[in-house]
Amino acid sequence: MKEEEIKKHELECFRNETITRSNSLITAKYKSSLLENKLMVLALKRSKKDTLNRPSVEISAEEIRKLSGNTGGSFYGQLKLAAKSMANRTIFIEDAEKKQFKVINLIHVAEYKNGMFSIRFTPEANEYLDDLRDNFTTMKLTTLFVFSSNYAYRLYEILKMHEYKIGKDNTPIVINYSLAELKLEMNCVNTEEKAIQRELQKDTPDYERIVNDIAKEKHLENYSDFRKNALDVAKKQINELSDLYIDYKPVRSGRGGKVVAVDIYLQRNVNNKMYAITEDGTEVVTEELLEPENMTELILDIIDYITDVKISSRDAGILLKDAGYNADAVKKAYDLSKTQTEIKNFMGWMRKCIKEDYQPSIETMSGSQEAARQVKEVHEDIESNKMSLSVKVWEKTKQKDNYPAFLQYLDSQGISEDIIDAIYSPEECLKLYVDWVKMS
């Protein structure tokens, strides 16, 4: 019994440690744009050692555009700002007991050239990348990508750190934030102002003073504006789109019934539950349809597959959800859409198609029957290997008879085999392969 408790305690310490570490990266940055945050997550997740053993990553502009939900507009300008800001990212690692700390620059070079956005991390950051990557992965990439409000994104990140405290029965836990602290955490003030930094470094920082007196740049000063534009928007988006469910209550005191704190009630989101009517007419909860672990891959898969129409990650997520996270069902609907002469509202048509369960056989796709069969084969392999998915499937694909021909094709495009393995992720390799099969 006692041993168990110690173990549990250790586990919690460990959690806190890693969370704090990733948190130091997440919160370090004031006013990071959504695009920047998303880019950072994607870059971390994808980063690999390059030929000189430096961690680096390349992301195509088109992919960033898709993943950020940005399908047009002044993309270049946004990317430029994000890159500048990313280059200033630091991780702050502190051992409070030993009174020692270090500040590490994360990114050495961020470059945009010929439609490719490349990031090279500093060698010093190297030893922390795995930690950061793990933490970001557990934060469910896809959830981060769905928020359209920066305040929602921030609040989600903050609350996600408390998720582990929620018990098995999912009774809401209460997290109390003073209004000032919450505003600080949600970046309503610029924590990079020097005076604020000084106050924050004290043992017991006075959040009230920071938010009310010290800060020069303030946003949403009135509580009602803060509530309307930050809290309510965040609550709506988190509850509708994420794996968390929140509610909040303002805590009032003082003359005028001033809101001095906010109690946040945090639960896991069980909205994914499916309700069904049994024969005798009673309503029962059927098996919970949870977002699969490989949702990111599924979304990328769908985005890559749907080439004729520009589709955001958010829309891809919606289609997948409609299809019970069956990527093939979405693809089949898309293949069918290609046979239609005119579709006015692509998303509307796709959702209707999926919901009405109209799934034509995959052989109706454009191209030869043989190509269709091969594509189908790859997708079936993906389905049956969901756990470690792409790596296994890609290895298997390499054994196929037509793989040498595929290599030859790549060579004609100026891409050699080792470049593929070094630069492309297995999903991307598969995508290349599938595209090639469809094309040939």
Half-sphere exposure of 182 (CA within 13 A, CB side): 27
Amino acid at site 318: I
When the beta carbons of 106 and 318 are compared against DNA, the nearer one is: 318
Q: Which is nearer to DNA, 51 or 74 (CB)?
A: 74
133 closest CA partner among 49, 213, 31: 49
281 contacts: CB under 8 Å, gap ≥ 6: none
The answer to whether residues 89 and 65 touch, using CB atoms and an 8 Å cutoff, is no
Enter the tokens of residue 307.
């080439």
Closest C-alpha among 213, 215, 171, 174 to residue 193: 215
What 3-state DSSP class applies to 49?
A: strand
Query: Closest approach of Cβ 118 to DNA, in Å?
Result: 22
Is residue 80 at the binding interface for DNA, with CB under 7 A as the rule? Answer: no
* Backbone dihedral angles phi then psi of residue 28, each to the nearest 5 degrees: -60, -30
CA 224, 227, 228, 229 dihedral sign is positive
Indicate the residue among 71 and 286 with the shorter CB distance to DNA.
71
Least gap, CB of 178 to DNA (angstroms): 13
Sorted by sequence, the CB contacts under 8 Å of residue 80 that are 6+ apart come out as 112
Closest CB to DNA among residues 183, 379: 183
Q: Is 229 in the site for DNA (CB under 7 A)?
A: yes
Mark 240-259 with x for binding to DNA (rule: CB under 7 A) and - for no binding.
----------x-xxxxxxxx
Smallest gap, in angstroms, from Cβ of residue 374 to DNA?
A: 32
For residue 250, the SS3 value is strand
x/- letters, 293..312, toward DNA (CB under 7 A): -------------------x
Q: Which of 149, 178, 385, 440 lies at the binding interface for DNA (CB under 7 A)? A: 149
Q: Which is nearer to DNA, 130 or 217 (CB)?
A: 217
Q: How far is the CB of 34 from DNA (least distance, A)?
A: 7
* Minimal distance, residue 393 CB to DNA, in Å: 31
Output the six-digit token pair for 51: 């030929």
What residues between 346 and 375 interact with DNA by CB under 7 A? 347
- Residue 171 or 222: the one with the smaller Cβ distance to DNA is 222
Q: What minimum distance in Å lies between the beta carbon of 262 and DNA?
A: 11
Q: Which one of the spans 17-25, 230-238, 278-286, 358-366 is the region binding DNA (CB under 7 A)?
A: 230-238
189-228 residues near DNA, rule: CB under 7 A: 219-225, 227-228
Helix (H, G, I), strand (E, B) or coil at 333: helix
Contact in structure between 66 and 313 (CB atoms under 8 Å): yes
Which lies closer to DNA via its Cβ, residue 71 or residue 416? Answer: 71
In 3D space, the residue among 195, 197, 201 whose CA is nearest the CA of residue 214 turns out to be: 195
Q: Which positions from 2 through 61 interact with DNA, judged by CB under 7 A?
A: none
Minimum CB distance to DNA, residue 113 (Å): 22
Burial category of 39 from C-beta neighbours within 10 Å (exposed 0-12, middle 13-18, buried 19 and up) = buried
> Residues 27, 237, 296, 397: which binds DNA (CB under 7 A)?
237
Strand partners, 119: 57, 110
**For DNA, the closer CB: 22 or 237:** 237
Q: What is the DSSP letter of 416?
A: -
How many other C-beta atoms can be found within 10 angstroms of the C-beta atom of residue 274?
11
Closest CB 289 distance from DNA, rounded Å: 25
Q: How far is the CB of 69 from DNA (least distance, A)?
A: 5
Closest distance of CB 78 from DNA, Å? 6
- The yes or no reply on residue 118 touching DNA (CB under 7 A) is no
Binding-residue total with DNA (CB under 7 A): 38
Question: SS3 for 253?
Answer: strand
Least distance from DNA to the Cβ atom of residue 100, Å: 36
Q: Which is nearer to DNA, 257 or 281 (CB)?
A: 257
Of the two residues 71 and 88, which places its CB atom closer to DNA in the complex?
Answer: 71
- As to burial, measured by CB atoms within 10 angstroms (0-12 exposed, 13-18 middle, 19+ buried), residue 102 is exposed
Sequence-ordered list of residues with C-beta below 8 angstroms from that of 419, at least 6 positions apart, any chain = none
Apex 329 CA angle, 45 and 399, nearest 5: 60
If the CB atoms of residues 161 and 230 are measured against DNA, the closer one turns out to be 230
- Closest-CA residue to 132 (of 201, 214, 205, 40): 40
Stretch that binds DNA, among 74-82, 155-163, 268-276, 359-367 (CB under 7 A): 74-82
| Residues near DNA, by CB under 7 A | 69-75, 78, 148-152, 219-225, 227-230, 233, 237, 250, 252-259, 312, 345, 347
